[in-house]
Amino acid sequence: MEKNVIWATILSALFLFSWYHFFPPQPSIQKDLNRDISKSFLEKTLIPQSLPNAESALETPYSQIVIDSRGAAIKSWQLKEEKGKARNEVLNLVNHPQAGAPLPLEAWPLSTYPELSFKEVKKSAKESVWKAMLPQGVEIEKRYALESLNGEPSYFLNFSLEFKNLKNGPAQISGFELGWKNGLGTVTSEKKENERVTRLLAYPSPTKEVVKFKTGEERAQYQWYGVDNRYYLVAIFPKEGEFYSVKTEKSKLDPGSLSLVVNNFSLLPKENKIFRATLYGGPKGYTHLKNLNLSLENAVDFGYFGFLGKGALKALETLKRWFGNYGWAIIALTCFLQMVLLPLTLKSYQSTRAMKKLQPKIQDLQKKYKDDSTRLNQELLQLYKSAKTNPFGGCIPMVLQIPVFWAFFTMLRNAYELKGAPWIFWIKDLSQQDPIYALPIIMGGGMFLQQKLSGSVGDPSQAKVMAFMPLIFTFMFLRFPSGLVLYWLTNSTFSILAQYLYNKKQSTAA
């Protein structure tokens, strides 16, 4: 099998992987456990936005959380980080509709009883407490408190919802939901594909991995539930046993909603009942989340070969400390991986060269036995045996490299660490596309040169297909993050150099 055929197979596989990775099929609908799935909150009868309101904010060096008196819900959760943001851009995790319409009160995070106007009864730098009264004489208290880690500010927020029956008789409380709705906000550069990459998660599943929810409801208990996109995560840690089930919805009308469900309950005279949870709202950097020791790092998607992706990220961070720049770290790590895989690459070159020498004999046999496929196969096998050549010898070494490539590819695609990281000159953010498309164009030229060095295939139809591959990949990589393109360009440059030196050595030996 010729080198170009091998590349055609690998690149076709890469294209299919990329297509299904970036354009996955729409999720199917799961059946609810004990009730029909409600319509999207965008279709419901909405609480008027004109209700009287007051606001209060809790602030840390990392975020500002604004609480509104209408339902005592979170109106905004702004992150103060500057990585990868345009100047003066506000990064709000509460995902407001892009059309400019106000987000329905029911869709605000931790919204319960949005028709009630709560009153703030206690306020400090780290805590905000709100109260309202239900018609049946039950007092509701919502408490928000910033949580510190080792005495330092953090991305965590403690929340509690308490019901107090102030009557001398029993009180019935209707069921409600607490959660995060309408997906998750992100920076402007990511908004175009934000809804597609938004996921509803929980950990751990029975396999000790992250479970990804579709639309539905289930009663399984998890350590945490979350809504995430490429670079950010909101995770909810509920108090065990206080919630009945988790309800999720993801559709064309709703980019992603996750709610913890509380069923109807009753309160005896003077009895109270409390529901508690802790929320994380912040970046989805693997190293940052792993240092929290809460298993949140499992939300980072490293693809099918995750263990390789995690190793690659760790190596990349080490190299970044050495070189002071993620761009040079990508180049160094790519060259190192190519050196490690060089024996397989040379084995592929050797097999391809051997097959090229056999091409005239193969073509003669194909002409001689064109009407007898069985005899042709027998003669071809005999030819390969006598030449001590495996027709798939050039393909197998390349296939063995696919897991390494794909792990590195996925890691670079989803690494928060690259967000806002510059390289040189016009590359100011390795997580964004090349603004002048220079890297993809150079990469395409490199692929074309690599084809020329590899030699042409015997089959003209294959040659025509391969001739278009550099052009196809150039257009495909135009909008890929520049860090990814830099990796592929470095990979191609190394391969071109290796192919050239191998060809030169073989020519000298001949």
Residue 386 to residue 493: CA distance in whole angstroms: 36
- 10 Å Cβ neighbour count for 50? 7
Burial 11-48 (b: 16+ CB within 10 A, else e): beebeebbeeeeeeeeeeeeeeeeeebeebbbeeeebe
Q: Is 168 helix (H, G, I), strand (E, B) or coil?
A: coil
Per DSSP, the three-state class of 138 is strand
Eight-state DSSP code of residue 108:
S
* Percent of the chain residues topping a pLDDT of 70: 82
Contact criterion met (CB below 8 Å) for 282 and 83:
no
Residue for token pair 């397989």: 344
Contact present, 457 and 466 (Cβ < 8 Å) = yes
H/E stretch holding 104: none
Q: In terms of pLDDT, which residue wins out, 329 or 305?
A: 329
List the domain boundaries for the chain.
3-18+308-509, 132-301
The distance of Cα 271 from the centroid of its chain, to the nearest Å, equals 45
pLDDT for the residue numbered 105? 86
Written as six digits, the tokens of 336 are 């190192």
Contact yes or no for 79/93 (Cβ under 8 A): yes
What DSSP element (H or E) covers 335?
A: helix 326-368
d(C-alpha 414, C-alpha 84), whole Å = 14
pTM, two decimals, is: 0.80
How far is residue 388's CA from residue 174's CA, in Å, rounded to a whole number?
Answer: 78
For residues 494 and 447, the answer to whether their CB atoms sit within 8 Å is: no
Confidence of residue 274 (pLDDT cuts 50, 70, 90): very high
pLDDT bucket at 281, cuts 50 / 70 / 90: very high
C-alpha to C-alpha distance for 486 and 327, rounded to whole angstroms: 8
Mean pLDDT for all residues in the chain: 82
**Residue 163 clears pLDDT 90, i.e. is over it:** yes
Joined together, the tokens standing for residue 259 give 């709610």
Query: Which fold would CATH assign to domain 132-301?
Result: Beta-galactosidase; Chain A, domain 5 (2.70.98)
User: What element of type H or E holds 204?
Assistant: none
Q: What is the mean pLDDT of residues 492-498?
A: 86
Q: How many CB atoms lie within 10 A of CB 510?
A: 5
Distance, in Å, from the CA atom of 235 to the CA atom of 288, rounded to the nearest integer, reads 14
Cis geometry, peptide bond prior to residue 422 (ω within 30 degrees of 0): no
Using one digit for the tens of pLDDT, what is the confidence trace for 298-312? 999 888 888 888 998
**Residue found under tokens 């071809």:** 380
How confident is the model over 427-455, as pLDDT tens digits? 998 888 898 999 999 988 888 887 777 66
How confident is the model over 102-125, as a mean pLDDT?
Answer: 91
Question: What is the distance between the alpha carbons of residues 305 and 310, in angstroms, rounded to a whole number?
Answer: 9
- Give tens-digit pLDDT for 18-57: 544 444 443 333 333 333 333 344 444 445 555 568 999 9
Rounded to an integer, the average pLDDT of 84-112 is 79
Residue 272 has pLDDT above 90, yes or no: yes
- Secondary structure (3-state) at 249: strand
pLDDT for residue 403 is more than 70: yes
Integer Cα distance of 255 and 510 in angstroms: 63
Asked whether 210 and 203 are in contact (CB, 8 A), the reply is: yes
First CA to last CA across the chain, in angstroms? 22
Collapse the DSSP code of 68 into the 3-class scheme (helix H, G, I; strand E, B; otherwise coil) and give the result. Answer: strand
| Reported confidence tier of residue 201, pLDDT bands at 50, 70, 90 | very high
Cα 42 to Cα 110, 149, 161, 249: the distances in Å are: 17, 37, 25, 12
Is the pLDDT at 14 greater than 60? The verdict is no
Helix, strand, coil distribution of the chain in percent, nearest 5: 40, 25, 35
- What per-residue confidence (pLDDT) applies to 321? 93
Contact 207, 220 (CB under 8 A): no
Looking at residue 476, its pLDDT comes to 85
Find, among 42, 44, 47, the residue nearest to 117 by Cα: 47
Q: CB-based contacts of 89: which residues, under 8 Å, 6+ apart? A: 187, 188
pLDDT confidence of residue 46: 47
